[in-house]
Amino acid sequence: MKRLLTVSLLGAAIAAGSAQARDYDTVRIGVDIPYVPMEYRTPSGELAGFDIELGNALCKQAEIQCNWVEQGWDGIIPGLMSRKFDAIMSSMTINDERRQQVLFSDPYLVPPSAWFAPTDTSMKGVESDDLKGRNIGVQRGTVQDNYVTDKFGDVANIQRYASADDVAVDMETGRLDIAFLDYPTGQAALLKDGEYKTLGKMMTEPKKYFGDGFGIAFRQRDKALADKFNQALATLKSNGTYDEIHDKYFNEDGTSAPQASDD
């Protein structure tokens, strides 16, 4: 009897799953608010932000009716699993641990990495010659760590820290000549009082290192839905809509543009 029940429940679940898989007329998207400038509410209470606008554009392109569902960050993957919503678009970085639980779309945004040095640094740029013998600070295990280790591990002395704050402290003590962090982190930790500046260009290439950006998360079995979003994303990127939205929220170099509604 028990087994029969299990089997029939399983059958029902599969039926429900496949029914879900066939029609994606309405899709609920989970989002954790606020995370300026990616997702937030305007003073009048409307949703805004890069994720929101891009998400709406994607849904329009894919001819899907989308509803946004607010969900705190801690419960956002469980919320997806328990069908509170069908997708997550909330600045979620694609990584291997999450990949085991959810299915990611193609990355839709790669936050840039940047070099930070004291304003009075003697370094002219960030080529091998400039970095020779210098102390480079990175956060251990980040994409920046991997990049610097492979590219400058032979010429420079790379110091790995547990947190970006430790990097900032050792920039202050002068133990580090330069730090390589993801831009928003470095901006928050170092660019507040004009003692430091960015050196060289913002980096989002090569893809081998910086490729894992933000992705939209789906349940593993909703492959068809993910494909729809990927197709829509490719279309928006080719027809200029993506750039339009991007330029509204970010400067050319990937720094966040000032928002009138930021407060």
The tokens for 252 are: 């050319």
Whole-number Cα distances in Å, 124 to 121, 138, 153, 157: 8, 20, 19, 18
Residue 138 C-beta: closest distance to another protein, Å: 10
Q: Which residues bind another protein (CB under 8 A)?
A: 96-97, 140-141, 145-146, 159-162, 166, 169-170, 173-175
- CA angle (170 as vertex; 167, 172 as ends), nearest 5: 115
**CB-wise, 86 or 145, nearer to another protein?**
145
**CB-wise, 151 or 160, nearer to another protein?**
160
DSSP bridge pairs for 214:
93, 109
Residue 216 C-beta: closest distance to another protein, Å: 22
Q: What is the CA radius of gyration of the chain?
A: 22
CB 48 within 8 A of CB 42: yes
Residue 175 C-beta: closest distance to another protein, Å: 5
How many other β-carbons are positioned within 10 Å of the β-carbon of residue 148? 24
**CB-wise, 32 or 145, nearer to another protein?**
145
**CB-wise, 85 or 161, nearer to another protein?**
161
**CB-wise, 106 or 170, nearer to another protein?**
170
Write phi, then psi, for 80 (nearest 5 degrees): -65, -45
Residue 11 C-beta: closest distance to another protein, Å: 36
Residue 134 C-beta: closest distance to another protein, Å: 13
